[in-house]
Structure 1
Amino acid sequence: MARMVAGRLLMPQPLPLAGESARRTWRKLLRRKGLAMDAEDFLSKRPESLLAQLRREDLDRLSVDELGERIATLEAEIARTKAKRDSASAFRSAADSLFKK
């Protein structure tokens, strides 16, 4: 059964239904439990991206060493992302040249 904790609706299992029938089911459940919340609030939203979470993170609480570690980690991730992009680009070029024959 779903329950509200710290302003968030916790669901112990994934939704068994999808689409409009799930919305109706969850609306009924919320009404029965006295939670005045529209089911659209948690059914239709996509999870927030990790990049958005990084941008919102409060950096004031980090020490100088922690900030340096964060920068090094982010630079490593940027290098990994660029390598993946270059690999994907090379793969695409190879595939294009193969199929142009």
Structure 2
Amino acid sequence: MSVFDDEHLKRQATTHVVGGDLSLLSVDELTARVAILQAEIKRIEDEREKKSAGRKAAETLFRS
């Protein structure tokens, strides 16, 4: 493995920083970040739905 490969792996392993500089990332790295962010959006939406369902159940219970 060359030095360049090591540097590439280090860059790829970093987390995404919202508002960070994207100009040095390759197309593959950008695609990977999009996938990571889409998965995070899905996770957040799922949690929001769970909390919303719990809230609706509580409101129904206390209205009775």
Q: Same fold (TM over 0.5)?
A: yes
Whichever of the two has the greater Rg, that structure is 1
Distance across 1 between alignment mates of 2:24 and 2:61: 53
- Two-structure CA RMSD over aligned residues (Å): 0.8
Q: 5+ unaligned residues in a row in structure 1: which ranges?
A: 1-52
Q: Which of 9, 32, 46 pairs up with 1:69?
A: 32
- Structure 2 matches for 1:1-101, cutoff 5 A? 53-55=17-19, 57-101=20-64
Question: 1:68 Cα deviation (Å)?
Answer: 0.3
Q: 5+ unaligned residues in a row in structure 2: which ranges?
A: 1-16
Question: 1:60 Cα deviation (Å)?
Answer: 0.2
Percentage of matched positions with identical amino acids: 48
Answer 1 or 2: which has greater helix percent.
Answer: 2
Answer 1 or 2: which has greater strand percent.
Answer: 1
Compute the TM-score of the two structures, normalised by the length of structure 2: 0.72
Q: How many residues align?
A: 48
Compute the TM-score of the two structures, normalised by the length of structure 1: 0.46
Q: Which runs of 4+ in 1 moved over 6 A?
A: none
Counterpart amino acid of residue 94 in structure 1: A
